[in-house]
Chains A and B, each alone.
Chain A
Amino acid sequence: MEQTLILTGAQAAAEAARLCRVQVVAAYPITPQSKIPETLAGYVERGMLKAQFVRVESEHSALGVCIAASTVGARAFTATASNGLAYMHEQLHWAAGSRVPIVMPVANRGVGAPWTILNDCQDSVSQRDTGWMQFYCMNNQEVLDLVVVAFKAAEKLLIPCMVCFDGFLLSHTFMPVAIPGQREVDSFLPPYVPFHALDPENPVNINPVVTSEPLADPDGVLSPGYMGFRHRLQKTHEQALEVIGQTGREFGELFGRSYAEPLFGYRTDDADFVFVAMGAIVGEAAEAADALREQGVKAGVFGLRVYRPFPARQLYEALRERRAVAVIEKAISYGYEGALTSELKASFYGKGGPAPVISNFIAGLGGKEVATSDLMQAANASIAAARNSTPPERAQWIGC
């Protein structure tokens, strides 16, 4: 039976893992993620979750354990943040290349140096190109729901998935979270079946050296070369938005909260200015949009729930009739601009027709406060740029 509890984002992530009946958990603590493995360790020790909990000595090993466990058919779960995620980098590539459907919450935190324990999204955005799917959550309900959706989508696609949510802003903030009943989650998420059944009579050599050109097996059948495998991963990513959408729709039919769309829209119907953002700041942008509307600006917000695979077509459709767009990012590709901004601009390439003027704002790095007034100023600057047809060349840093 569904019940509503007051949970932090970290507790919501752990609760979701329990509901998904994860079989192997391997995690190394890092602020602000630590409460996730701590909570799950308690569940396992109290018999509330039948799982192997591997108390690894590093994040590199956490993902190493999950890759192996998933390969032999156990539903595997880990969680990390910041430098911990960076330390996993090699294993992130290995997991995606291995096509193991691991789900990993990332409690977003700035990356050193210098040290910060507070929030931004540089950690996960920096791992954009590792072949993982990336979801971003606006609130703790989404943390719980999207972990469940992520397991189902990942296991259909055989692509691992990060479920990213802002450290402290969500991970340590209590919010009401509706907890679905176990029976309903079981009906939504069937047991995980691995790609390779472990069979002593039919041994396999998984992830060996692969040549650049396809080679024939002993029966003369051509097998893919390295690039062939990589192409398969990309082709599956290209189908992934549809699968995520179906999965999110099914989730909505069962639980009343639909995740059929990769974008979340707020007051967008008549908006000629919109914010585009990911994570908890979408909520703050919504407040700023309300305030702007009180001043007569037709403002709205689009939040990305799915960043990889990138919903380029959906963003283009959502934004093409707008006059001005302010992309608020808690990460930057140093030497250029926010990665989301570049990708958003690219989604308009070659389309012809109307296009908004897109401005990029870098905000909230290392937990720096982003006030509603900051966002309103960003909106006004974006609207002015559109009015004057002078798209800004560079990302603007809020508060610096």
Chain B
Amino acid sequence: MSGQTAILDYPEQEFILPGNRLCAGCGVTIAYRFILKALGKKTIICVPACCLTILHGIYPKTPIMATTVNNTFAGTASAASGFAAGLKATGREDWHVLAMAGDGGTFDMGLQSLSGAAERGENIIYVCYDNEAYMNTGSQRSSATPPGALTSTTPVTPKQQLKKDFMKIMEAHWLPYMAGVSSAYPGDVYKKFVKARDIGGTRFFHLAAPCPTGWWYPTKDTVKIGRMMVESCIFPLYEIEEGRLSLTGKSLSIARSGGKKPVDEYIALQGRFKKITPEQVAQFQKQVDKQWQALLARAGF
């Protein structure tokens, strides 16, 4: 992918009005703003019980200027499928269906309906915004929580297990388009959604959404933390089109020119890792290196 969109060339229309109920410093909003700019006003957003429910506000007020329909926790992808079917049946296929669910609603409870929708090739864009725990209910452990992190259900002994490699699960569904994106790189988010917008079928995005509330870092550091995830290759930026993987943005430049950072500083900045042992940090680094090497090999480096 080449060519940056100049800042003046992004659509002027804002779909998220100033003032919303999310925590200060929330990573989700930064990316969400650009996702909606890329998709435009003919978009139906499906939202399960998640942080986004809070962003969308309390009845009868909402800061979101796009049609939203809330659905059950496990039912985001089935709701999205229903919108796609209903719009097709009534001749309105010019609308986009955008499903936005957290890691709880995607990695865990929503997995069945998402797998069903992806296997059927439903004409939807599904975004998992990943803040690595059940943040909406008070930062309980999820299968997306990294090892070494404290959560409210691993309050004394940090999580021991590895984070689920969700992109592998989604790749097993032969999707036409998948991408890893980060709230810290909204330009990359925008470009990928513009591209995905005009592809049919099920498109899947894994969005890294740093969370000051659950990760225990100062609210001003969301973009910094997000960048460190990419710079240390914990969360690389890439896309997979019909099985072809290409690195994008900062991850592409690391692949080309080096400069990959160790995970230590990223870990040290967050309170959730305060009980991580040196062995776990080494393990963390080893896992990141292994996954990065695999990505590099697939991307032809």
Enumerate chain A interface residues (CB-CB to B < 8 A).
23-24, 26, 50-52, 54-58, 60-62, 64-74, 76, 90-91, 94, 198-201, 203-211, 215-218, 223
Contacts and interface: CB of A to CB of B under 8 A. Distances in A.
Given A61-B77, A68-B78, 6 more contacts: A64-B72, A68-B85, A71-B69, A71-B83, A203-B66, A215-B60
B68 A68 contact: no
The 4 closest A-B pairs by CB, nearest first: A68-B82, A64-B78, A57-B116, A69-B86
B72 A90 contact: yes
B183 to A, nearest CB: 22
A10 B95 CA distance: 35
A378 to B, nearest CB: 42
Given A64-B75, A203-B67, A208-B58, A198 B89 contact: no
Interface of B: 41-42, 44, 46, 53-54, 56-62, 64-72, 74-75, 77-83, 85-90, 92, 95, 112-113, 115-117, 119-120
Contacts of A74: 85-86, 89-90
B75 A71 contact: no
A67 B71 contact: yes
B82 A69 contact: yes
Nearest to B85: A52
B78 A61 contact: yes
Contacts of B72: 60, 64, 90-91, 94
B60 A203 contact: no
A65 B81 contact: yes
Contact of B58 (A55, A206, A215): A215
Contact of B68 (A60, A90, A204, A223): A204
A68 B41 contact: no
30 contacts: A52-B85, A54-B82, A57-B113, A57-B119, A58-B116, A61-B81, A61-B117, A64-B81, A67-B82, A69-B86, A69-B89, A70-B86, A72-B86, A72-B87, A73-B86, A76-B82, A94-B72, A198-B95, A200-B67, A203-B41, A203-B66, A203-B67, A205-B62, A206-B68, A207-B71, A208-B56, A215-B58, A215-B61, A218-B61, A223-B59
Nearest to A217: B60
B89 A205 contact: no
Contacts of B70: 205-208
B111 to A, nearest CB: 11
A11 B87 CA distance: 28
A55 B88 contact: no
B59 A24 contact: no
B68 A205 contact: yes
B79 A67 contact: yes
Contacts of B67: 198-200, 203-206
B92 to A, nearest CB: 7
A72 B70 CA distance: 13
A316 B300 CA distance: 79
A57, A60, A94, A208: residue with the most chain B Cβ atoms closer than 10 Å: A208
A52 B88 contact: yes
Nearest to B94: A200
Contact of A73 (B54, B58, B81, B90): B90
Contact of A64 (B41, B44, B82): B82
Given A203-B68, A205-B68, A61 B59 contact: no
Given A57-B112, A203-B41, A209-B59, A65 B69 contact: no
A215 B60 CA distance: 7
A206 B69 contact: yes
Contacts of B77: 61
B57 A208 contact: yes
A208 B62 contact: yes
B86 A24 contact: yes
A49 to B, nearest CB: 11
Nearest to B40: A200
B40 to A, nearest CB: 8
Contacts of A61: 75, 77-78, 81, 112-113, 116-117
A207 to B, nearest CB: 4
A66, A67, A204: residue with the most chain B Cβ atoms closer than 10 Å: A67
A200 B42 contact: yes
B79 A210 contact: no
A63 B129 CA distance: 25
A313 B115 CA distance: 48
Contacts of B74: 60, 90
A61 to B, nearest CB: 4
Contact of A210 (B58, B78, B119): B58
A207 B69 contact: yes
Given A204-B68, A205-B59, A223-B59, A24 B89 contact: yes
Given A205-B59, A208-B62, A55 B89 contact: no
Nearest to B115: A57
Contacts of A76: 82, 86
B60 A54 contact: no
B101 to A, nearest CB: 13
A354 B57 CA distance: 55
B58, B60, B95: residue with the most chain A Cβ atoms closer than 10 Å: B60
B202 to A, nearest CB: 13
Contact of A72 (B58, B71, B75, B90): B90
B190 to A, nearest CB: 20
